[in-house]
Each structure stands twice: as C-alpha cells, then as structure tokens.
Amino acid sequence: MWKIASRSRIKSPWIFHLNTGSCNGCDIEIVAALTPRYDAERLGCVLVGSPRHADVLILTGPLTSQMMPRVVRVYEQIPEPKAVVAVGSCAISGAPFLGSYSIEGPLDRIIPVDVYVAGCPPRPEAIIRGIVTAVKRKFG
C-alpha cells in the first residue's frame, strides 16, 4: 500500500513556481521545461497556480528581504509531503548579490532545500532532472 502511494507521488509531482527576486532568466527556463519541446508533463509534472495543490516548490532568485515572509508563507501553505528545488546560482548562493543589504538569502538559510540546480540560468533538462531527483529522494 505504501509502495503504491510512494510510486504515485513520484509519478505526479505538481509544481508551484515562485520567483524570490530572480532576474527572470531562470523563470523563462522553467517555462521552457514545460513546453512541448522538453515536455515535463510526460513525467506527470503539471504547473499549478495554487500552493495548496503543489508537491514541489521551485524557487528562483537570491531571496530579497521583501520576499522572505512570503516565501515562508507559501512554503507553509503547501500540504505535506513536499519537496523544494532551488533553481539557479542566485538561489543556491546569492551569486552576484551576496552581501547586498536587500538580500536575505541564500535560500537554504530560510527553508529546507532538497535539490540545487546550478547554472545561470540552468538548462531546461537540468531543471527537469532536478525535479525528478527531488521527488525520488523525498518521496521514494
């Protein structure tokens, strides 16, 4: 029974995407991962509009101080079990913005991150691989 549940969770990761102060580069690549060319839906990924429906939270950007309470709120709105994927160099380390007065990041100081996808921006294949790794590690 547990096996079926875990398999279903791996096979249907619904994604909620949140921009935490990114330059939009990573966001474009995330959208590209959902287009017919890369087709994340063949792995069951659907982009949902409400965090209540999501399983995987994809975060981009260095986490500005304005976005910090909102990121925490969205994270807590997602029902358990959930996985978090940090996409892009900014989300991983703060990249060029590290040390700025308006940056609270890197992301893993605020919420637990399961998978880091490096790149500026990362390629769509890398993002899809990140999602798959995250759900396998977290729900498997």
Partner 1 sequence: MIALEILLATLPLVFLLSLLFEGIDRKVHARMQRRIGPPIIQPFYDFIKLLVKENIVPTTAARSIFNASPSLAAASSIVGAAIPLANLIARTGIIGDLILVMYLLTMSSIMIVVGGSSSGNPYGAVGFSRKIMMLIGYEIPLLISVVSISIKAGPSLIYYDIILAQIKSDKCLACAYISSATAALTFLLCISAAVGVVPFDIPEAKTEVIHGPLIEYSGPQLALLKLAKSSTIFSLSLLAFTLFFYFPTIYELSIVLGEIATLGACLLGSLMVMLLTVTLPRTVFARLKIGQAFKTYWFFPLPMAITSLMLSVLGW
Q: Which of 31, 65, 66, 81 binds partner 1 (CB under 8 A)?
A: 81
* 54 or 90: CB nearest partner 1: 54
Of residues 11-30, which lie at the interface with partner 1 (CB under 8 A)?
A: 11-12
Q: By the 8 A CB rule, do 139 and 5 touch?
A: no
Residue 31 contacts partner 1 per CB under 8 A: no
As separate numbers, helices (DSSP H) first and strands (DSSP E) second, the chain gives 5, 5
- The least CB distance from residue 42 to partner 1, in Å, is 4
DSSP 9-69: HHH--EEEEEESS--SHHHHHHHHHHSTTT-GGGGT-EE-SSGGG-SEEEEES--BTTTHH
81 preceded by cis ω (within 30°)?
Answer: yes
Binding letters toward partner 1, positions 34-73, x by CB under 8 A: --x--x-xxxx---xxx-xx-x------------------
- The least CB distance from residue 65 to partner 1, in Å, is 26
Q: Which residues of the chain form contacts with partner 1 (CB under 8 A)? A: 4-5, 7-9, 11-12, 36, 39, 41-44, 48-50, 52-53, 55, 77, 79-81
